[in-house]
Structure 1
């Protein structure tokens, strides 16, 4: 069997009626699904013996959890991925524009996830990585990835609680009217379209905070903060109020654009570490193509 993933010594003061399942779910915050998967694969051991979920635990007991057996992606032709940060649980990547984050029917190779798996496999670490946040193919910037399902579960929970800060830089058409603005516009799939979303009263809750960075009559540079994480949320919200992203072919103005992608960059991530609780913060500066775009637009302003 592989090396242990997690090793716990049961603390003093636990209930006499606490079993393995209750300990992992209550004391260690494992999700029900993760406990079920670990149990199905026989990955939980109590005092060096295979454990049943109903087995009682006592202070001083040694509970060992081994890694799940997970299917790995084909990493042949995997791209080079620019890592900003790595530790035992986490990877933070500054994704370039044009890179798909995860394989799809249309993009089977050359994805960010395959690039990260290739890095780990080159070190003998045969494990699957887990995306905490996703970016569209043509959006650049910070992507948070975990090396194990428990860290992913914890960070996903923190994100749902609003404790993961995600900020973007966006260049939009038009003269932005205010210093700060909150957009609380529900979003749903657009009927009859395979990709587009739309603002609609029957949609899911979606909240975006927008702050003005710079503006001229032709265009504006904005900092955008996500409070929810709907598909295409920033693109939909800004387009719906008449300020579409420059370069956005899906939600834009339908005219010739001066950049070959939507001008959107995930420039800041901040969150508590899933194991230590330490507050981590990462920044990625505006990429060259968006810097050049903004300089060009300012020059063309009357």
Structure 2
């Protein structure tokens, strides 16, 4: 349905978008930002059948819609080659299996050695000179699936999907001890720890945070747990499991024992409905770097 032509993307309008105006498709379906919409209006960055038309034009099935999606953008992310483990890719998005021990993005201009540096290099190798847009984050020592947008419109619509919980993330963790309940929900607000610059804690005045868990397997002194999130607070899983009395194995910041070289948390699965093709995308992130063998993740969302 979609074809890349240089800096432009073209699609043939399917029947489920027929009857919408260009403006409705851009703003209501894809959540285009005001800045991007203004730029495309001024620069004729949206065309129908090769011609710039009013955004009130009604689209019909099999119309050709062209978007100037890959207009070059200034970026502070330094491109740097690093081999990437790709789980999914098309002209709109990229899902990478992040290894542990690497930051998702630079914390200061000019920094290298992060996943974003490698993604920037990879996109430039495809002649895509847009900014690197990660849709969500993983801690430095957390491995697993992480989603990137290849152009600003994809970034905007994926951001909205994440806020609406339309992107489902499933994690696997190895924790100390045996949980008394085989499944449950941890609903405890999270705020900053005023005694530590990077640590978070459960706080009555913190932001709402909800984590669902299910025990997959138990060991003499540990449990393998599957987790899903209703919210995405910094260190949420780590804080909630420590609050429950079962910190992650290897997570010394939150009371875990250093019996593993990093904290035992892996983003094992990413599921969402593709906003530009309407297909279901399911990405499973394998890892050899975990203290116990991981079972396959159940395809059903845990609640």
Q: Say yes or no: does 1:283 pair with 2:284.
A: yes
Query: 2:187 corresponds to which residue?
Result: 184
Deviation at 1:49, TM superposition (A): 7.8
Query: 1:267 corresponds to which residue?
Result: 268
**What CA deviation, in whole Å up to 9, does each residue of 1:195-246 have, x standing for no partner?**
1111112111111011001113411111111121111100010011211001
**What CA deviation, in whole Å up to 9, does each residue of 1:40-60 have, x standing for no partner?**
7x3535677878xxx663447
From 246, 252, 256, the equivalent of 1:243 is: 246
1:44·1:63 contact (CA, 8 Å) conserved in 2? no
Query: 2:92 corresponds to which residue?
Result: 89
Cα distance in structure 2, aligned partners of 1:134 and 1:240: 22
Structure 2 gap ranges (5+): 1-5, 295-303
Cα distance in structure 2, aligned partners of 1:251 and 1:106: 30
Q: Say yes or no: does 1:160 pair with 2:163.
A: yes
Larger CA Rg, structure 1 vs 2: 1
Query: 2:217 corresponds to which residue?
Result: 214
1:169·1:286 contact (CA, 8 Å) conserved in 2? no
Cα distance in structure 2, aligned partners of 1:74 and 1:241: 41
**What CA deviation, in whole Å up to 9, does each residue of 1:95-138 have, x standing for no partner?**
11111111113991111111122122123232333111211111
Partner SS for 2:253: coil
2:46·2:65 contact (CA, 8 Å) conserved in 1? yes
Deviation at 1:93, TM superposition (A): 1.0
**What CA deviation, in whole Å up to 9, does each residue of 1:138-163 have, x standing for no partner?**
10111111101212222222222222
Q: CA RMSD in A?
A: 3.1
Cα distance in structure 1, aligned partners of 2:28 and 2:87: 33
Shift in alpha-carbon separation, 1:114–1:106, aligned structure 2, 3 A: closer
Partner SS for 1:152: helix
Deviation larger for 120-129 or 109-118: 120-129
Shift in alpha-carbon separation, 1:269–1:28, aligned structure 2, 3 A: closer
Question: Normalised by the size of structure 1, how large is the TM-score?
Answer: 0.81
Shift in alpha-carbon separation, 1:43–1:82, aligned structure 2, 3 A: farther
From 115, 137, 140, the equivalent of 1:137 is: 140
Structure 1 gap ranges (5+): 294-302
1:94·1:140 contact (CA, 8 Å) conserved in 2? yes
Number of aligned residue pairs: give it: 282
From 28, 33, 36, the equivalent of 1:34 is: 36
